[in-house]
Structure 1
């Protein structure tokens, strides 16, 4: 456990240094960017170590892994972010522990989240996942709604009981006009956020950037970066 703590502390320090350097290069304060550590596939022991190292935001993408882990770590002062594609049959469970759902991308999901949040007596922060690779279907390969669908979802979230419109999220697209152009995609997300905040000033979260491209996200104006492997390492067999 001591070796793992030392490993995570060293990795976390490197990521913090990267974020600080990116903020400095962009003329931004370090406090303008929140690190969310993506703990998917890693055990509750790692979450507990990270909490002891000062991490306050963690993210998961599969409810079947996240629910027991969140329960095991319920004594820690952590904000849990759900970042994976969310099926409506998992919403009740996710609402039980998630403080934020960053992957809201369709009307039916908003309706389900609102119903379960009210039932649980909770308020869930919702980020609209924007897909810059959305084709004719209006959905991206990895979830998300096309930019043109943001306004409709934002209005629905804003008037849904139990939900709070937090802002926007994206994953750098692998196909389409923004493939290989992470910073351009992130800058487009920030433009969409600026438009959104004209109507909903409190929806100021811009979640973008992961281990490989967090610098581009910070340069573009992201407020939250989601970093997994750079902090936790790569799990055997997961590439």
Structure 2
């Protein structure tokens, strides 16, 4: 089986699993978006996914994502990895969305970065869809915003000229039951929806726990290995 056929089969299988779960949870058809995670995989794989109808992919590392975005300008790349403030200007040039804002410092740096990118004609869209990465256990080593700081950070993003608060991203803490994690995160998101008086996105669920995430309201699942296979050896 060639690489194109392999990715096509994998993509179809994951989409079928998502559709089955959505149906079983009595959610509307099309209510969950699949975001393939292409980190560490070559740009040729992303090209194949684009040919197969994929229009957005998730990336973790700024330099790798930037290179892919330059080679594939028609593909939307979402930043889903931890962000260093010194990389914010670069991320603001290529990111179609950012899922991993975890501090006011990062939010404001991205806001300035988008303004600069637009000014320099490096970016056409003056608004960057922005998600807060939620930390349910408060572990600073894994990134994420502690629960007690989420609303204040959401308001900072909402007030930023070039950012739009779109929702939360959640990764279950190590050792946690995914059901518990996603249920808690969904509760936080519901509070934010009430606070801002609008529906928000919920970026939650990967290959191993997308069923649990969809059950608790995920609208975006981030799947890497199940579609692209194991990471290529360096």
Q: Which runs of 4+ in 1 moved over 4 A?
A: none
In 2, Cα distance between equivalents of 1:43 and 1:30: 32
After superposition, what is the alpha-carbon deviation per residue over 1:155-175, rounded to whole angstroms, capped at 9, x for unaligned? 10011111000100011110x
After superposition, what is the alpha-carbon deviation per residue over 1:193-236, rounded to whole angstroms, capped at 9, x for unaligned? 11111122446110001011111100111010000000000024
Secondary structure at the counterpart of residue 39 of structure 2? coil
Q: 2:14 maps to what in 1? A: 15
Q: Is the 8 A contact 2:203 2:220 kept in 1?
A: yes
Q: Is the 8 A contact 2:136 2:185 kept in 1?
A: no
After superposition, what is the alpha-carbon deviation per residue over 1:50-106, rounded to whole angstroms, capped at 9, x for unaligned? 0111112201000111101111001x2x33210100001111111111011110001
Q: 2:44 maps to what in 1? A: 45
In 2, Cα distance between equivalents of 1:63 and 1:203: 29
In 1, Cα distance between equivalents of 2:203 and 2:14: 16
In 1, Cα distance between equivalents of 2:116 and 2:198: 24
1:211 has 2:193 as partner:
no
Return the TM-score normalized by structure 1: 0.91
Q: 2:223 maps to what in 1? A: 227
Q: Is the 8 A contact 2:59 2:78 kept in 1?
A: yes
Structure 1 stretches of 5 or more lacking a match? none
Q: 1:191 maps to what in 2? A: 187
Q: 1:56 maps to what in 2? A: 55
Secondary structure at the counterpart of residue 106 of structure 2? helix
> How much does 1:237 deviate?
4.3
> How much does 1:119 deviate?
1.4
Q: Is the 8 A contact 2:65 2:77 kept in 1?
A: no
After superposition, what is the alpha-carbon deviation per residue over 1:16-37, rounded to whole angstroms, capped at 9, x for unaligned? 1110111111111231000000
1:81 has 2:85 as partner:
no
1:131 to 124, 131, 135: 135
Secondary structure at the counterpart of residue 145 of structure 2? coil
> How much does 1:112 deviate?
0.5
Q: How many residues get paired?
A: 227
